[in-house]
């Protein structure tokens, strides 16, 4: 093989193998050292290339695309600190089990450690945050070396479709010249035919099959569940809608008689089938904030399916050091790992959740269906909470006519058309949605960003999701999240799908007003956490040529969302809310729920028997 043609051959092999394993999208940030790989990608007809200038934003765009398409996406950048900017998105991908093939071009080994420009140590730069990391050097003229390179690439990419998915890293040591050469000689045409044959070769590592829990584990699980009537089923954040069969969850709930608490970060909260809805209590966070409810309705058994709930109040029942914790058993079924931050789970089973619930339900159904007054009280209380949320209406938090933050969030939820994608930012927005969202809200696709639970990259990730199809999208986020990722607005420019970016502008990080630090410092000192601002968010939209509107009334907000969903591309909808309205409306809603529970005879100061 022609030595000068080796890099062109390797570049074409890499891009062809990406396509061969089912990758259809490549997100690229322009750079010199990545030139041969981008050039080879542009030759592939089935590989869509998305250019995002900023690598930090590009990482999140790829992450959003991969989560929305539920298939691997590739990232490509040049050498040096470009790769380091991928780290936040790689961390998020690992925590959400999102498959990303991270390709970082690098200087050849001979230029390492000698002050060559744009050269840093990229070896295992992502550490334990990737499933695998491999360094790919330029093969020599031997065809055997390209066969080994194929094996090296495919063995890494195979992990993208394993039982536990996530990001993988290929660091590409790339010498000059960087331009892709044409197959303009007989020798080069022969080499290119050989590369095409390697790409077409069907031999590749197989993905891992789903793990079934052993019959012994199922028997142990059933023996614990079958003797307890005061049990709750919880489902926390889940990035994969297909990870849990809703009908199997409903069947298990029916067999146990246990209420189901679905986090707002779980996709079934917004898309629950009819057979599951009778067992759901949603919203439920208001109940957990009422001390007397926690005392009288404390469960004896918690069956955790997947990850833990976002609610810190729920943790008090799991924490044996808390006075209201009367928990006897905490059992956990997870797809993988041990998602148990407090370490209280006594039975941990990792494997196929739907299969495990189906087998457990089959065993439990041999006995008569169970019901209890304790469980019935949960369902009645859930109806009370939903009624109190419905009564929010257009009532203002302080009587001044200003739009309250919970009013705004409830309006956003109600303004979504059926089948829309609602992307929920972290910090206050996800907690406010948890306070307000009932089950089966217009059969939405609810997407939470709860991997590392950060507020960075939110605009970029939502853009990646919007790139995946043509359905209407709404991103709900806070003003600081928006300011963190203003550069992500660049990535929205090629969008054809509607993306309404709803920014709750409350003048800073108001979640800190609801945390213990607010009682530990004075108001002036607290600004070091809330960082109040007076930035013109419309100027950011104008910089990128995006539509922007500023609203402070419910009717205007509804109209803005409807209009944004009717036009292609991104629209920035700035919702101006009173700075203290999030805290005030939340407190008022909890008090109203407490009063309604007392009036309905559902609240007792003494623990229920």
At 336, is the pLDDT very low, low, confident or very high (cuts 50, 70, 90)?
confident
Asked if residue 248 belongs to a domain, the reply is yes
Predicted local confidence at residue 323, as pLDDT: 66
Minimum mean pLDDT range among 357-371, 413-427, 479-493: 357-371
Kindly report which listed range (78-92, 201-215, 300-314, 334-348) carries the lowest average pLDDT score: 201-215
Indicate whether 359 pLDDT > 60: yes
Q: Are residue 225 and residue 358 in the same domain, yes or no?
A: yes
**pLDDT tens-digit series, residues 69-82:** 999 999 999 998 99
Q: Flag whether 210 is in a domain.
A: no
Pairing of strands 100-106, 167-173: parallel
Residues 539-564 pLDDT 10s: 999 999 999 999 999 999 999 999 99
Average pLDDT in the chain: 90
Q: Where are the alpha helices (DSSP H) in 391-415?
A: 405-414
The reported pLDDT for the residue numbered 212 is 85
361 in the same domain as 402: no
In a domain, residue 23? The reply is yes
How confident is the model at residue 320, as a pLDDT?
Answer: 73
Token pair recorded at residue 158: 């195979």
609: confidence class by pLDDT, cuts 50, 70, 90: very low
pLDDT, position 141: 74
- Give the CA radius of gyration of the chain: 26
Rounded average pLDDT over 398-422: 84
Pick the last residue of a domain from 369, 399, 428: 369
Tell me the pairing of strands 421-424 and 167-173: unpaired
82, 59 Cβ separation under 8 angstroms = no
pLDDT of residue 74: 98
Q: Using CA atoms, how far apart are residues 440 and 456, in angstroms rounded to an integer?
A: 29
d(CA 67, CA 23): 13
The rounded percent of the chain whose pLDDT value lies above 70 is: 95
- Count of the separate structural domains present in the chain: 3
In sequence order, the 6+-apart residues with CB closer than 8 A to the CB of 496 are 470, 568, 569
- CA–CA separation, 127 and 86 (whole Å): 12
Q: Is there a single domain that holds both residue 403 and residue 365?
A: no
233 and 170 share one domain: no
- pLDDT confidence of residue 588: 94
Task: Find the mean pLDDT for residues 113-124.
Answer: 79
| Domain-terminating residue out of 176, 200, 224 | 200
Per-residue pLDDT, 546: 97
Of the ranges 1-15, 202-216, 261-275, 496-510, which one carries the lowest mean pLDDT score? 202-216
Q: Tell me the average pLDDT across 173-192.
A: 91
Compute the distance between CA of residue 103 and CA of residue 174 in angstroms, rounded to an integer.
Answer: 12
| 319 pLDDT above the threshold of 90 | no
The verdict on 241 and 318 lying in the same domain is: yes
For residue range 179-188, what is the model confidence (pLDDT) as tens digits? 999 998 999 9
pLDDT at 397: 36
Instruction: Give the residue-averaged pLDDT of 366-384.
Output: 87
Clarify whether residues 43 and 74 are in a common domain: yes
Task: Select the highest-mean-pLDDT range: 153-162, 308-317, 473-482, 578-587.
Answer: 473-482
* Average confidence (pLDDT) over 403-424: 94
Based on the domain organization, do 186 and 245 belong to the same domain?
no
Q: 164 falls in which pLDDT band (50, 70, 90)?
A: confident
Range(s) of the domain holding residue 330: 215-369
**Residue 343 domain-assigned?**
yes
In this structure, are 220 and 190 located in the same domain?
Answer: no
* Higher per-residue confidence, 265 vs 399: 265
Split at pLDDT 50, 70, 90, the class of 597 is: very high
Q: Does residue 208 belong to any structural domain of this protein?
A: no
Under the banding of pLDDT at 50, 70 and 90, the label for residue 122 is confident
3-state helix/strand/coil string of 320-386: CCCCCCCCCEEEEEECCCCCCCCCCCCEEEECCHHHHHHHHHHHHCCCCCCCCHHHHHHHHHHHHHH
Query: What average pLDDT does range 47-76 have in this prediction?
Result: 96
Provide the pLDDT for residue 394: 47
pLDDT for the residue numbered 311: 87
pLDDT of res. 402: 67
Grade residue 399 by pLDDT with cuts at 50, 70 and 90.
Answer: very low
* Shared-domain flag, residues 73 and 140: yes
Question: Stretch 334-351: mean pLDDT, rounded?
Answer: 83
Residues 345 and 410 grouped into a single domain: no
Q: If pLDDT is split at 50, 70 and 90, which confidence band does 508 have?
A: confident
**Is 386 inside any structural domain?**
no
Name the range with the highest mean pLDDT among 91-105, 112-126, 231-245, 337-351.
Answer: 91-105
Percent of all residues in the chain with a pLDDT value above 90, rounded to a whole number:
67
Query: In the numeric block, which tokens belong to residue 74?
Result: 């590739």
**pLDDT given at position 395:** 55
CATH code at position 320: 3.40.50.1220
- Kindly state whether residues 263 and 116 are assigned to the same domain: no
Average pLDDT over residues 144-159: 91
Q: Are 240 and 66 in contact (CB under 8 A)?
A: no
Check whether residue 40 and residue 163 sit in a common domain.
yes
Residue 330's DSSP bridge partners are 302
The better pLDDT of the pair 67, 396 is held by 67
469 found inside a domain: yes
Q: Is 602 a member of any domain?
A: no
206 or 27, which is more confident? 27
Q: For position 34, which CATH number holds?
A: 3.40.50.970
Least confident of 36-50, 358-372, 578-592: 358-372
């Amino acid at each position: 093989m022609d030595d000068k043609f080796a890099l062109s051959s390797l570049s074409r092999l890499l891009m062809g193998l990406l396509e061969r394993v089912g990758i259809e999208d490549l997100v690229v940030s322009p750079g010199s050292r990545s030139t041969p790989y981008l050039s080879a990608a542009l030759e592939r007809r089935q590989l869509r290339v998305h250019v995002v200038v900023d690598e930090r934003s590009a990482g999140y765009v790829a992450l959003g695309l991969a989560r929305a398409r539920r298939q691997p996406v590739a990232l490509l950048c040049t050498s040096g600190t470009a790769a380091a900017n991928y780290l936040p998105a790689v961390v998020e991908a690992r925590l959400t089990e999102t498959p990303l093939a991270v390709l970082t071009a690098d200087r050849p080994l001979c230029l390492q450690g000698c002050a060559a420009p744009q050269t840093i140590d990229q070896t295992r730069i992502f550490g334990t945050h990737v499933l695998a990391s491999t360094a790919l050097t330029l093969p020599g003229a031997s065809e055997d070396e390209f066969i080994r390179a194929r094996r090296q690439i495919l063995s890494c990419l195979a992990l993208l479709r394993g039982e536990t998915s996530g990001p993988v890293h290929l660091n590409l040591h790339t010498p000059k010249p960087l331009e892709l050469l044409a197959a303009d000689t007989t020798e080069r045409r022969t080499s290119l035919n050989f590369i095409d044959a390697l790409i077409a070769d069907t031999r590749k590592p197989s993905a891992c099959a789903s793990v079934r829990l052993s019959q012994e584990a199922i028997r142990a699980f059933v023996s614990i569940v079958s003797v307890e009537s005061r049990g709750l089923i919880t489902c926390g954040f889940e990035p994969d809608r297909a990870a849990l069969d809703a009908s199997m969850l409903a069947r298990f709930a029916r067999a146990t008689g246990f209420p189901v608490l679905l986090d707002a970060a779980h996709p079934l909260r917004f898309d629950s089938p009819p057979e599951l809805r009778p067992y759901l209590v949603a919203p439920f966070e208001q109940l957990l904030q009422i001390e007397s409810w926690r005392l009288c309705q404390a469960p004896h058994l918690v069956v955790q399916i997947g990850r833990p709930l976002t609610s810190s109040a729920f943790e008090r029942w799991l924490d044996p050091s808390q006075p209201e914790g009367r928990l006897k058993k905490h059992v956990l079924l997870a797809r993988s790992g041990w998602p148990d931050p407090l370490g209280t789970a006594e039975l941990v089973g990792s494997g196929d959740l739907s299969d495990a619930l189906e087998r457990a339900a089959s065993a439990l159904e041999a006995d008569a269906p169970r019901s209890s007054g304790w469980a019935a009280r949960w369902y009645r209380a859930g109806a009370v909470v939903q009624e109190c949320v419905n009564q929010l209406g257009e009532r203002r938090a302080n009587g001044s006519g200003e739009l309250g933050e919970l009013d705004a969030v409830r309006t956003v939820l109600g303004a979504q058309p059926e089948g829309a994608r609602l992307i929920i930012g972290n910090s206050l927005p996800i907690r406010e949605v948890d306070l307000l969202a009932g089950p089966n809200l217009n059969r939405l696709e609810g997407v939470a960003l709860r991997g590392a639970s950060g507020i960075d990259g939110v605009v970029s990730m939502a853009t990646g999701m919007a790139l995946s199809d043509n359905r209407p999208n709404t991103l709900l986020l806070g003003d600081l999240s928006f300011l963190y990722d203003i550069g992500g607005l660049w990535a929205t420019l090629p969008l054809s799908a509607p993306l309404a970016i709803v920014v709750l502008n409350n003048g800073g990080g108001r979640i800190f007003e609801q945390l213990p630090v607010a009682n530990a410092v004075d108001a002036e000192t607290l600004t070091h956490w809330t960082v109040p601002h007076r930035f013109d968010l419309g100027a950011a939209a104008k910089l990128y040529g995006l539509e922007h509107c500023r609203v402070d009334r419910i009717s205007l907000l509804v109209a803005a969302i409807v209009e944004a969903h009717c036009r292609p591309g991104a629209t920035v909808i700035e919702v101006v809310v009173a700075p203290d309205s999030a805290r005030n409306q939340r407190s008022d809603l909890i008090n109203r729920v407490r009063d309604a529970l007392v009036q309905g005879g559902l609240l007792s100061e003494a623990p229920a028997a």
